[in-house]
Amino acid sequence: MLNRRSFLGKSAAFAAAATFERARPLHAMMQPQAFPKDFLWGAATASMQIEGTPMSKGGGESVWDPFLRQPHATLDGSTDTIADDSYNRWQEDIDVIRQLGINAYRFSISWPRVLPDGAGRVNQQALDHYDKFIDALLAIHVTPVVTVYHFDYPEELQKKGGWLNPESPKWLADYAELLTKRYSDRVKYWLTINEPNIFWSLSAEAATFPPAEKLPPDKLVQGSVNILQGHGRSVQAIRAAAKQPVKVALSVAGMINMPATESPADIAAARDSSFTLNPIQIIPGSPGQYLLNNAWWLDPIFLGKYQESGIAHFGKDAAAATDDALKIIHQPVDYCAVNLYFGSHFKAGANGKPEKVPDPPDIQRTPYGWAITPDILYWGPKFLYERYKKTILITENGMSWNDTVSPDGHVHDPVRTQFIHDYLTAYRRAIHDGVEAHGYFYWSLLDNFEFTQGYKQRFGITYVDFVTLKRTLKDSALAYRKIIESNDASL
C-alpha cells in the first residue's frame, strides 16, 4: 500500500521521467533489427572506484592516494579508502552480476595492487584474488573483459617521472604481459588503457586529476605520445603472451558532436568538428582542453598518422610525435572501443565552418552537469565507424542521478530507466544503418567513488549504501535485464 511519503517520492520520480521525454532521440519510435546475436550485454567498473585502497593486503599507492590526502581534494571530503569494498565483498558483486543477467563484465585490475612499486616486485595475493574473481564470472557464464590500466597509476612510477619518463611505455607493457600470462587462458577480451584523453588532459592540461601539474605544450605532447606507445607496446605484449586468440583495443572517451539537423551540411559540420583539435568543455563553464579530442589519440592508432590540426596547433612543441613512435603506436586492434555519455550540437555556419549550437535552456542535465543527449549513441558509433572502419564496442555509457531508497525498500529511478531505453534505441538505429557493433557496457554496475566528486554522483544500476555497503538493484537494473533477455525486443 502506498503511504504519503512513497506516493510523493514516486510522483516526483515519474514527473522527472516525463520531463526526460523531451530529450528522447529523433528516431526513438523506430523498430529496426535487433542487436547481433553474439552481442556483449555488459556493465563496467574500475578497481580504483570500487575496490578500496590498493595499499591493503600487500599493495602499493596509486597517484590518487597522496592526492586524496590533501584538504578539499573531493567535494565531500571523502576518499577511496573503502569505496564499495569490492576487493573483500567480491562475491556480493558476483551475485549482483548474476541477478542483472549480463553476459559480459568489464573491470580493471589494479596496477599498484598487483605491482606495489609499479614494476618488479609482484603481490601474489592480488594475482590470486583476480584468479578467483575471473573463475567466479566464468562459473555464471559471464565473459570477463579486462582493462589493464584505468586511472590508478602507481605512485612509485610517478616519482620517476610518470608518463614523461621514456621507460613509461615499457612499464605498462610489462604489466600487461604479466596479466596476460596469468589470465589469458580464460580472458579473451583486453583493453590496454581507459580514456587516455581524460586522465592525461585532466592531470597535465587542466591539473584537476593527480598529480595535478600543468605541463607546457611540449611536455603535453611528449606524455601523450608515451601513453600511446604504452598502448602499442601493450598490444604487442598481450598478443605475444596470449594463450588463446584474443581481442585487444584501447578505450577512449568519445568527444563526438551531433548535427543540429539531419541536413548533409550540418552532418558534415558535426563530423568535421568531432575530429578537429579544438578546446572541449566537459563541464559547462569549465576551461576548454585540447587533448580531450578523439582524433589526437585515435588517428595514430587506426590511421597510422598524427592528427593534422593537432600537429599544426602544437607546431614545434610536437617534436615528440615522431615516425619511430608512430610505428609502435600503430598496432592492429580489434575494436574501436569508446565511452559515450553526451555530445554537443553543431551546424554549418555562414562561413562554411562548423558552428556550435547552444543547448536549449530546458535541456535535462544530470547532477554532474552533463546533458542527456540520447542521439550520441547514434552519431558517435556512426562517425567513428565511418572514420576508422572498425567494429564499435561501447565500453561505457550511463548517467548519475540523486537516487534514494524508497520506503518500500526499492530504488525507483525512472529517469535512468528511460535513459537506457532511449540511448540503446539510438544505438540500435546506428546498427540498422550499417554500423558494425559488438557490445554495450553500462557505467556502472555499482554506485561508487567518482574521483574528485567523491560519493556525490551515483552512476550505478545497483544502489550502494555507503555506510552498510548493502547492494540493491535499482529499477533501471531490472529494466536493463528485461532488454537483455529479449535481445532488445522490449525497447
Hey, what's the cell of 210?
593527480
User: Among residues 155, 177, 396, 450, which one is catalytic?
Assistant: 396
Based on the residue annotation, tell me whether 262 is a catalytic residue of this protein.
no
Based on the residue annotation, tell me whether 195 is a catalytic residue of this protein.
yes
Element (H, E) at 369: none
Give the integer Cα–Cα distance in Å for 295 and 310.
9
Residues in the chain: 491
DSSP 323-354: HHHHHHH----S-EEEE-----EEEE-TTSSE
User: Among residues 61, 195, 205, 450, which one is catalytic?
Assistant: 195
Give the angle subtended at the CA of 369 by the CAs of 366 and 374, to the nearest 5°: 55
Residue in this structure with the C-alpha cell 561501447, named with its chain if needed: 394
Cα 203 to its chain centre, rounded Å, is 17
- Strand-strand pairing, 392-397 and 104-108: unpaired
Element (H, E) at 312: helix 308-314
466 and 448 Cβ atoms separated by less than 8 Å: no
The arrangement of strands across the sheet holding 354-357 comes to 258-259, 345-348, 354-357
Count the helices and strands in the chain (H runs, E runs). Answer: 17, 13
319 and 376 Cβ atoms separated by less than 8 Å: no
φ, ψ (nearest 5 deg) of residue 26? -55, -35
Q: Looking at the annotation, which residues are catalytic? A: 195, 396
